[in-house]
Chains A and B, each alone.
Chain A
Amino acid sequence: MRIGIVGVGWYGFKPNTREVSFREMMFEAATRAYYDAGNLNPRTDVDTFISCQEDFWEGIAIADEFAPDPIGGAMRPTMTVTGDGLQGILHGVMHILSGLSNVTVVESHAKPSDIKTLRDVIEFAYDPIYGRIGAKNIHFLAGLEATKYMKIRNATREDYASVVVKNKRNGLRNTRAPFSSNLNIDDVTKRDFVVYPLTDLDISRFVDGAVVMVLASEEVARKFNDTPIWIEGIYSATETTLELSNLGEATYMKIASREAYKMAKIDSIRKIKSAFVDDTYSYKELQHIEGLELSQNAVEDLREGEFEIGGKVEVNPLGGHLAGGRALEASGLALLLDAIDYLREGKVDNAVVASWRGIPTFTGAVGVVSR
């Protein structure tokens, strides 16, 4: 059974949303999603609600308390998945497949502009006994991994820069991409390193944003929307913790994508024409493309232009996080939004969406969507 995405709504995707609180941002995104789903009434038409957030990002010890009101989920089965929004979609799919619901709402939001101590929050994600080294630079782990990936694939600084150039240029076609621009490779490589081998342009910037999506079972989806976007397969995987991980390889993506493809009955990877892939760091896009098995050697294919619009697989044709920014736990839903926009425009028939939870995790989720 396929699951339809029958309504989407978003708010923000800019460096600062001073005009709203996080709850108002959720409300705005929710009302837009419900309008998109044919003026759905959340109090009568929705069976279950899922919010995706983490306490420390919110600055609230039990952030879950604030989930129900802005999305119409009060006095209803509302729950929190402490993970990326795409993991929330996976749980929504399970709610529907289990027979628990016909219509499920998934919400995720981020307001990093409210966080004064981002570095310290990230430090708290490391193991308290032997993981917290008090690093001043939150990107040090990405620097290590990017260096290792360069060694594994003989990648160069220019290769990473060409990912940045591609995505920031593609972002010019996206209404949610405040960091889009027309750059050339020199513009990237001539900047100072934030951490070797990454410059500030290789690293996506944080943005505020909220996304709400309405999922419906196949049998009721068209009641809300004539042209639902179908979730054909979805899965998530956690590889391990930092101490035991294979830095340089996105094993989590490999595990998640295999299961998602199996669910979507994709026998040949060539059938996938577009990919909306986490590119929190420029090198991550390449690593994730390999994890998704869209390429055996992403660096070579990048040099051949295979990931450009019109190429073998269009990767982040709407700019990804490098152009759109990274909205913490809403990042996966931002990529899914891009995929939905692209599919609704009729540019492609299917897409793979792949999210990563960010430093220092080894967790990713993969979804296959079609129109």
Chain B
Amino acid sequence: MKSNLYFRRVAVIGAGLTLFRRRLLETPQELAWEASRKALDEAGLDLKDIDCVVIGSAPDAFDGVHMKGEYLAHGSGGIRRMVTRVFVGGATGVMVPITAWYHVASGLCQKVLAVAEEKMSPARPHPQSVFRYIWDPITEKPLNPNLIWIFAMEMHRYMYVNKISKEEIALVSVKNKRNALNNPYAQAAGNITVDDVLKSEILVWPVQLLDTSPVSDGAAAMVIVSEDIARRYTDTPVWIEGVGWALDNTEWTGRELTYPRYLEYAARMAYKMAAIERPSKEIDVIEPYDPFDYKELHHIEGLMIAKRGEAPKLLKEGVFDIDGDIPSSPSGGLLGVGNPIAAAGLMKTISIYWQLKGTAGKMQVKKPVHTGLAQAWGDLMQASTVIVMRN
């Protein structure tokens, strides 16, 4: 990355979410519009004010639509203007605001609507069937692997190398589902115990049902604008101060799964831009990607907020609780709110935006916050996207 950045300041001034649920009746376009309308309303803008639209959606096969960006354009207000869909697998949700950021920072656009939508539930017989076709067609597909198998391998490796127990990891699920009780959009909130997690159905050892996020439909949207525009529409803009992303190679079979090195690279890129030198001291609130409970811990370490293998210890000490030193997933995360893949990543970014704006309602963390971070993860355990925001 260049060191002599001269980019323009970029702010978030509005955001909107739909309910996250399984089998929503709305079409993908309707979901996208519902979130977009809410984001525009919060920003005080109309669709005619928007000059560019960025769309995010993960595999086309979920919605069963080829060229999904073109299809979603209509519902996302992408009519007679610049529209693009970006895609980095499950990490797409945070790539959407990153893309909107460079639309504005480049000077090409002033007011960008960033929209992410996913409708997983129509996939038959189950959304997992879509994941049968993500593998190398020659070397891997004939083995018919399943995504949960490979995440089980990663979880097992993380536990084995760092000597972490299932009980320690289950605390993430307990925390996030509890946090989600405060989130009006949440699908899988609940007051559960470690025992509930340990007694839930085993999917692929060591992954159990309550270690995972649910199948979800939903959409999220943000309004991202230049500094001039932000000052005109709000007294409390939230600034995007650092962005970073990285993709490891495709060959996950040859990768050391204990530590997400690609995430460290992405985080370093974002920290450099945001001038963050000690992430654990300088970041007040985080939304790391948590499709599985172990992933939140894995990502906290990749983000260098905890040392390798030490995230479970900090979790047990309450550092990541809503009233802790670095609240993690105050929204409830994917485990509690739901996981409509791309929309889930943008939901995490929106959670940080609302925290920094002080409008998170019951989700608002107890300590004053000035710097927040959202992160997403995807592809074949190879992609990460990071965004740092300040108020």
Interface residues of B in 15-67 (CB under 8 A from A): 27, 58-61, 63-67
Minimum CB–CB distance for A333 against chain B, Å: 16
Flag A117-155 by CB within 8 Å of B: 1 or 0 each: 000011011011100000000000000000000000000
With contacts A94-B106, A238-B81 taken as known, whether A60 is within 8 angstroms of B134 at the C-beta atoms is yes
Q: Determine if B265 is an interface residue (Cβ-Cβ < 8 Å).
A: yes
A99: contacting residue among B5, B71, B89, B131, CB under 8 A: B5
A357 to B67, CA, bound (A): 10
- Chain B residues with CB below 8 A from A96, complex form: 106
Q: Determine if B88 is an interface residue (Cβ-Cβ < 8 Å).
A: yes
Binds B, one of A68-76, A276-284, A295-303: A68-76
Minimum CB–CB distance for B67 against chain A, Å: 5
- Chain A residues with CB below 8 A from B132, complex form: 61
With contacts A82-B85, A237-B80, A363-B83 taken as known, whether A54 is within 8 angstroms of B66 at the C-beta atoms is yes
Q: Is A255 within 8 A of B81, CB to CB?
A: yes
With contacts A62-B134, A62-B379 taken as known, whether A79 is within 8 angstroms of B245 at the C-beta atoms is yes
Q: Is A74 within 8 A of B74, CB to CB?
A: no
A55 to B69, CA, bound (A): 12
Q: Is A101 within 8 A of B81, CB to CB?
A: no
Q: Is B71 within 8 A of A127, CB to CB?
A: yes
The total of chain B residues at the interface (CB under 8 A) is 71
Q: Determine if B274 is an interface residue (Cβ-Cβ < 8 Å).
A: no
Q: Determine if B304 is an interface residue (Cβ-Cβ < 8 Å).
A: no
Q: Is B106 within 8 A of A241, CB to CB?
A: no
Q: Is A75 within 8 A of B79, CB to CB?
A: no
Minimum CB–CB distance for A317 against chain B, Å: 28
Q: Is A236 within 8 A of B84, CB to CB?
A: yes
With contacts A64-B87, A241-B74, A251-B80 taken as known, whether A78 is within 8 angstroms of B5 at the C-beta atoms is no
A236 to B85, CA, bound (A): 12
B137: contacting residue among A60, A235, A255, CB under 8 A: A60
Q: Determine if A77 is an interface residue (Cβ-Cβ < 8 Å).
A: yes
Q: Determine if A268 is an interface residue (Cβ-Cβ < 8 Å).
A: no
- Chain B residues with CB below 8 A from A95, complex form: 102, 106
Q: Is A124 within 8 A of B102, CB to CB?
A: no
Q: Determine if B200 is an interface residue (Cβ-Cβ < 8 Å).
A: no
A357: contacting residue among B70, B89, B131, CB under 8 A: B70
Minimum CB–CB distance for B91 against chain A, Å: 9
A124: contacting residue among B65, B79, B82, CB under 8 A: B65
- Chain B residues with CB below 8 A from A74, complex form: 247-249
Q: Is B250 within 8 A of A62, CB to CB?
A: no
Q: Is B1 within 8 A of A80, CB to CB?
A: no
Among residues of B, the one whose C-beta sits closest to the C-beta of A57 is B66
With contacts A62-B89, A124-B66 taken as known, whether A83 is within 8 angstroms of B261 at the C-beta atoms is no
Q: Is B134 within 8 A of A65, CB to CB?
A: yes
Interface residues of A in 100-126 (CB under 8 A from B): 100-102, 121-122, 124-125
Among residues of B, the one whose C-beta sits closest to the C-beta of A131 is B71
Q: Is B89 within 8 A of A241, CB to CB?
A: no
Q: Determine if B133 is an interface residue (Cβ-Cβ < 8 Å).
A: yes
Chain B CB within 10 A, most for which of A64, A241, A244: A64
- Chain B residues with CB below 8 A from A82, complex form: 67-69, 84-87
Q: Determine if A341 is an interface residue (Cβ-Cβ < 8 Å).
A: no
A164 to B234, CA, bound (A): 55
A75: contacting residue among B64, B82, B138, B248, CB under 8 A: B248
A94: contacting residue among B78, B102, B262, B269, CB under 8 A: B102
Q: Determine if B205 is an interface residue (Cβ-Cβ < 8 Å).
A: no
With contacts A61-B131, A75-B262, A239-B79 taken as known, whether A80 is within 8 angstroms of B65 at the C-beta atoms is no
A47 to B5, CA, bound (A): 13
Flag A48-63 by CB within 8 Å of B: 1 or 0 each: 0000001110011110
Among residues of B, the one whose C-beta sits closest to the C-beta of A54 is B67
Q: Determine if A67 is an interface residue (Cβ-Cβ < 8 Å).
A: yes
Q: Determine if B276 is an interface residue (Cβ-Cβ < 8 Å).
A: no
Minimum CB–CB distance for A83 against chain B, Å: 6
Q: Determine if B299 is an interface residue (Cβ-Cβ < 8 Å).
A: no
Q: Determine if A87 is an interface residue (Cβ-Cβ < 8 Å).
A: yes
Minimum CB–CB distance for B32 against chain A, Å: 13
Q: Is B379 within 8 A of A83, CB to CB?
A: no
Q: Determine if B2 is an interface residue (Cβ-Cβ < 8 Å).
A: yes
A67 to B69, CA, bound (A): 19
- Chain A residues with CB below 8 A from B68, complex form: 82
- Chain B residues with CB below 8 A from A65, complex form: 89, 134, 250, 379-380, 382-383
- Chain A residues with CB below 8 A from B82, complex form: 235-238, 256, 259
Q: Determine if B7 is an interface residue (Cβ-Cβ < 8 Å).
A: yes
Minimum CB–CB distance for A254 against chain B, Å: 10
Flag B125-159 by CB within 8 Å of A: 1 or 0 each: 00000111110111000000000000000000000
Q: Determine if B171 is an interface residue (Cβ-Cβ < 8 Å).
A: no
A61: contacting residue among B66, B130, B243, CB under 8 A: B130
With contacts A60-B133, A98-B102 taken as known, whether A55 is within 8 angstroms of B85 at the C-beta atoms is no
Q: Is A94 within 8 A of B79, CB to CB?
A: no
Minimum CB–CB distance for B90 against chain A, Å: 8
Minimum CB–CB distance for A113 against chain B, Å: 15
B61: contacting residue among A55, A91, A125, CB under 8 A: A55
Q: Is A68 within 8 A of B249, CB to CB?
A: yes
Q: Is A79 within 8 A of B67, CB to CB?
A: no
Q: Determine if B298 is an interface residue (Cβ-Cβ < 8 Å).
A: no
A239 to B78, CA, bound (A): 8
Among residues of B, the one whose C-beta sits closest to the C-beta of A53 is B87
- Chain A residues with CB below 8 A from B61, complex form: 55-56, 61
Q: Determine if A66 is an interface residue (Cβ-Cβ < 8 Å).
A: yes
A254 to B383, CA, bound (A): 37
Q: What are 29 residue pairs bridging A and B, where the CB atoms are less than 8 Å apart in the complex?
A: A54-B67, A60-B134, A61-B132, A61-B133, A61-B134, A62-B58, A65-B134, A66-B136, A68-B247, A68-B249, A69-B250, A76-B246, A77-B1, A78-B246, A79-B86, A80-B86, A83-B84, A87-B84, A91-B86, A91-B102, A98-B7, A124-B64, A125-B71, A236-B84, A237-B80, A238-B70, A239-B80, A241-B71, A357-B70
Interface residues of B (CB under 8 A from A): 1-2, 4-8, 27, 58-61, 63-71, 73-74, 78-89, 95, 99, 101-103, 105-108, 130-134, 136-138, 243-251, 261-262, 265-266, 269, 378-380, 382-383
Interface residues of A (CB under 8 A from B): 21, 47, 54-56, 59-62, 64-69, 73-83, 87, 90-91, 93-102, 121-122, 124-125, 127-129, 235-241, 244, 251, 255-256, 259, 263, 357, 361-363
12 more CB-based (< 8 A) A-B contacts, given A62-B59, A79-B247: A47-B2, A61-B59, A64-B88, A67-B247, A69-B251, A93-B106, A99-B2, A100-B1, A124-B66, A128-B64, A238-B81, A259-B82
